[in-house]
């Protein structure tokens, strides 16, 4: 796929990095040639220096052949105008804009209308994605990562096993006896940051393992309780950094729990205080000020979130909060190297804003009928949801038992969702008559489960390199005529 990315900032860089490694033709436009030169040396892509809302620059970057245009410049106005130019002047099939201001996100007609609006096909907002991710983590306090598939019916959770969890020190074959009330499938186990390549009934879960479990969203509390003892829900929350994410989060969670926000900038504090309900306490002070934290009882906090724009500050604030007694700490970390360094140490969760948003983009880039993609372990692994088309003759998955499907090494089919309508195909209309009334069904995969046409299959891949191979499985051969 030929992809043009505007802006080589943090988001642009992460997007370029995860797309360039998948054999896409990437061109990045930025005003800073030095930054582009660095990027071009590190990744197999082309950099074009210039202002990306100018048609001449876009043309220079080869926009006429582009399949997708992703605008991730720092300013909303740049991204909107660039998408408008890409859509109106160059007729790029897919345009994606990164929008920061919530007001633009609400005005869907303005951003997405092809005639009178800015012609944006998809709006991405890293702040929004991060907020949603954090809310999921608050909802399931023991999870490291929670990802939804099949319109929320199915969830993939990453949990760290601790001594004392019902399943810990047991083999996977014993799961049905130990946890009879929840059907689940363990798709991957990471031990000391390395995936176990062969997972079978004999594999035992050890304390400290990072376990990826797939289960129906309704069963999730039971599943989590099986891997580690259920933690108490979050009642007290401290947020360091009252930026966009902090504000959004506080606004959404106000009333459900006790919230304190630390913000170093006095003027920003005033603004936050007017924007948020009175029960949210806005504190003026540095995120690494231990006296202030002590005064505000950081030791009683169920969760401490470090959400400033500075990686080092976030890490230090989390280390400090943990030392002072906060139950769980989460740091927002942009640099991949830092995130890999601290995740799972004293800091419970390291969250990368760029990766939170990449899944949404990847779903557009993937071939075949890929509905959703989630990037796992900061981009190393991936889980995707794809619709099965064709029958046994034309597709290499349809009509087969799971054990018959030739998946690449380590990749696993975790679950199947049957009966969800498939958008935009004649076949779904035909099938819709039969299935429209029945509620969609979540089937946790077993070796003898038979995959049918129209199923949504959730596949876990421990390495991104396997993506192409898995996509090919889902592609229907040319003889299939619908």
Partner 1 sequence: MQSILPVLAVLGGILMVFAATMLVPLAFAFFGGDAALSAYDGAIAITFGAGLVLFLYCRRFKRELQPRDGFLLVSLVWAVLPAFGALPLMFHLKDLSFTDAYFEAVSGLTTTGASVLSGLDSLPTSINVWRCFMVLIGGMGILVLAVAILPLLGVGGSQLFKAETPGPMKDQKLTPRIAETARGLWTVYFAIALVCFLSLRLAGMGWADAFMHMCSTMGLGGFSSHDASFGYFQSPSIEAVTIVFMLIAGVNFALYFVAWKRRSLWGLLRDVEARTFVLTLVASALGIAVFLTAHGVYPSFGESLRHAAFNVVSVATTTGFATVDYAQWPVFAPVLMLFLCCFATCAGSTGGGIKMIRALLLVKGGRRELRRIVHPRAVVPVTLGQAAVNTDVLQSVLAFMLFYGAVMVGSTMLLLFTGLDVVTAFTATVACINNTGPGLGQVGPAGNYQDLTDFQTWVCSVTMLLGRLELFSILVLFTGSFWRK
Residue ranges in contact with partner 1 by CB under 8 A:
2, 23-27, 37, 40-47, 62
448: region left, alpha or beta (phi > 0 left; psi from -120 to 50 alpha): alpha
Cα-based angle 370, 130, 77 (whole degrees, multiple of 5): 85
Give the nearest distance from C-beta 43 to partner 1 in angstroms: 6
Quick one: 26 or 188, whose CB is closer to partner 1?
Answer: 26
Backbone φ/ψ region at 148: left (φ over 0), alpha (ψ -120 to 50), beta: beta
CB of 318 to partner 1, least distance (A): 32
What minimum distance in Å lies between the beta carbon of 44 and partner 1? Answer: 5
37 pairs with which residues across the strands? none
**Beta-carbon contacts of residue 345 (< 8 Å; ≥ 6 apart):** none
N- to C-terminal Cα separation, the chain: 24
Q: In this complex, which beta carbon is closest to partner 1, that of residue 27 or of residue 133?
A: 27
Q: How far is the CB of 62 from partner 1 (least distance, A)?
A: 8
d(CA 165, CA 436): 40
Q: Give least dist CB 279 to partner 1, A.
A: 52
Compute the C-alpha angle 141/146/96, nearest 5°.
Answer: 135
The DSSP string of 351-415 is E-HHHHHHHHHHHHH-SSSEEEEEEEGGGTEEEEEEE--S-TTT-SSTT-BGGGS-PPTT-EEEE
> What ranges in 296-335 are assigned the alpha helix state H?
311-323
Shortest Å distance, C-beta 18 to partner 1:
14
Cβ distance to partner 1 smaller for residue 362 or 402: 362
Q: Which is nearer to partner 1, 60 or 148 (CB)?
A: 60
CB of 29 to partner 1, least distance (A): 12
Q: Are 184 and 221 in contact (CB under 8 A)?
A: no
Minimum distance from CB of 93 to partner 1 (Å)?
A: 17
Structure tokens belonging to residue 114: 């092809």
Please report how close the Cβ of residue 27 comes to partner 1 at its closest, in angstroms. 5
Q: Which is nearer to partner 1, 68 or 417 (CB)?
A: 68
Give the length of the chain: 482
CB nearer to partner 1: pick between 62 and 243: 62
Q: Distance (Å, rounded) from C-alpha 262 to C-alpha 298?
A: 11
CA distance 317 to 319: 6
Which CB sits closer to partner 1, 41 or 291? 41
| Percentages (nearest 5) of helix, strand, coil residues in the chain | 35, 25, 40
Closest to partner 1 by CB, 20 or 125: 20
Return d(Cα 339, Cα 144) in angstroms, integer. 13
If residue 342 lies in a helix (H) or strand (E), which one and from where to where?
Answer: helix 336-342
Residue among 446 and 468 whose Cβ is closer to partner 1: 468
Pairing outcome for strands 184-191 and 194-195: antiparallel
Closer Cβ to partner 1, 44 or 77, answer by number: 44
Closer of 67 and 107 to partner 1 (Cβ): 67
- Please list the alpha-helical segments (H only) found in 254-324: 266-275, 290-295, 311-323
CB of 96 to partner 1, least distance (A): 17
Q: At what angle do helices 244-253 and 266-275 cross, to 10 degrees?
A: 30
State the minimum distance, in angstroms, from the CB of residue 376 to partner 1: 22
């Amino acid at each position: 796929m030929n992809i043009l990315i505007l802006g080589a900032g943090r988001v642009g860089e992460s997007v370029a990095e995860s797309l360039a490694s998948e054999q896409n033709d990437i061109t990045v436009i930025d005003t800073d040639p030095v930054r582009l030169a660095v990027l071009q040396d590190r990744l197999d892509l082309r950099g074009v220096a210039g202002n990306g809302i100018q048609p001449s620059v876009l043309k220079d970057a080869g926009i006429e052949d582009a399949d997708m245009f992703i605008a991730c410049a720092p300013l909303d106005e740049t991204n909107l105008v660039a998408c408008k130019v890409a859509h109106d002047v160059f007729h790029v099939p897919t345009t994606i804009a990164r929008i920061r201001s919530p007001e633009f996100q609400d005005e869907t007609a303005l951003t997405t209308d092809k005639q009178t609006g800015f012609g944006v096909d998809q709006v991405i907002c890293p702040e929004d994605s991060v907020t949603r991710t954090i809310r999921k983590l608050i909802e399931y306090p023991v999870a490291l990562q929670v990802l939804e598939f099949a319109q929320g019916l199915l969830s993939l959770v990453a949990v760290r096993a601790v001594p004392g969890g019902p399943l810990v020190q047991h083999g996977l074959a014993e799961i049905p006896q130990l946890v009879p009330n929840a059907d689940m499938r363990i798709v991957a186990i990471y031990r000391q940051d390395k995936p176990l390549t062969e997972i079978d009934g004999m594999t035992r879960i050890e304390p400290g393992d990072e376990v990826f479990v797939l289960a129906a969203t309704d069963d999730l509390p039971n599943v989590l309780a099986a891997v580690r003892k259920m933690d108490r829900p979050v009642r007290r929350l401290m947020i360091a950094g009252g930026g966009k994410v902090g504000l959004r989060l506080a606004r959404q969670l106000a009333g459900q729990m006790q919230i304190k926000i630390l913000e170093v900038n006095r003027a920003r504090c005033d603004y936050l205080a007017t924007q948020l309900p009175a029960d949210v306490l806005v504190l003026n002070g540095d995120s690494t000020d231990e006296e202030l934290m002590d005064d505000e009882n950081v030791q009683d906090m169920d969760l401490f979130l470090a959400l400033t724009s500075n990686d080092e500050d976030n890490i230090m604030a989390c280390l400090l909060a943990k030392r002072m007694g906060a139950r769980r700490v989460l740091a927002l970390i942009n640099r991949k190297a830092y995130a890999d360094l601290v995740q799972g140490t004293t800091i419970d969760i390291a969250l990368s804003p760029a990766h939170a948003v990449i899944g949404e983009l990847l779903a557009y880039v993937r071939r075949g009928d890929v509905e959703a993609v989630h990037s796992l372990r900061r981009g190393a692994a991936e889980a995707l949801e794809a619709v099965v088309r064709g029958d046994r003759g034309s597709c290499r998955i349809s009509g087969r038992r799971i054990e018959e499907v030739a998946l690449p090494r380590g990749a696993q089919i975790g679950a199947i969702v049957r009966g969800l309508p498939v958008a935009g195909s004649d076949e779904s209309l035909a099938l819709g008559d039969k299935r429209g009334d029945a509620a969609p069904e979540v089937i946790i995969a077993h070796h003898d489960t038979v995959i049918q046409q129209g199923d949504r299959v959730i596949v876990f891949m421990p390495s991104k390199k396997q993506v192409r191979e898995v996509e090919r499985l889902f592609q229907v051969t040319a003889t299939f005529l619908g």
